[in-house]
Amino acid sequence: MNHTDWDAVIVAPFGKLGIQTEIVDDSLMVRQIVYLDHSEKLKPARTDLAKEVENQFKQYFKNPDFVFDLPLKPFGTAFQQRVWSEIEKISRGEVKTYGDLAKAIKSAPRAVGQACGSNPFPLIVPCHRVISATGIGGFAHQAGEGFHRNVKAWLLQHEGVFLQ
């Protein structure tokens, strides 16, 4: 995605975050949030909502117990929404495996992983709290080492979870 499509690109401890907003039924809502690496150009917030998202993220980066309160654009299939609803029940400092979530909603771990990777509201819907049975697992449809795995590790450590 080109940085001109963002309503804001803000600094995060692990890189940057791209924020998009959209008017839905006469209300401005968060459309998506995307993890971006350090090379992405910063962009000041061009809507009041993008500025509020930035403010709330700053609060979270200072205090991992911060609770987000943002209008989110309805998104996803019924299955994805079930997965994301289950993810929202995972408290800070805790993790669940893809298998745990799959069992809770009577599905398969791989399907849960796909729904996690399609989450348009990372941090707000804390998919970083979902790990594999053998370690940290993938993140944002990315497997193995790299930027997204480092973001996931940073977020978990910020919330008091230290995995080997």
CATH class of 78-158: mainly alpha
- DSSP string for the chain: --GGG-SEEEEETTEEEEEEEEEETTEEEEEEEEEE-TTSPPB---SHHHHHHHHHHHHHHH-TT------B---S-HHHHHHHHHHTTSPTT--EEHHHHHHHHTS-HHHHHHHHHT-SSTTTS-GGGEEBTTBS--BTTB-SSSHHHHHHHHHHHHTT----
Instruction: Please identify which of the residues 95, 101, 102, 127 carries the catalytic annotation.
Output: 127
Is the pTM for the entire model greater than 0.85?
A: yes
Residue pLDDT, tens place only, 77-99? 999 999 999 999 999 999 999 99
- Is 116 one of the annotated active-site residues of the chain? no
Enumerate the domain spans of the chain.
3-62, 78-158
Residue pLDDT, tens place only, 24-73? 999 999 999 999 999 999 999 999 999 999 999 999 999 999 999 999 99
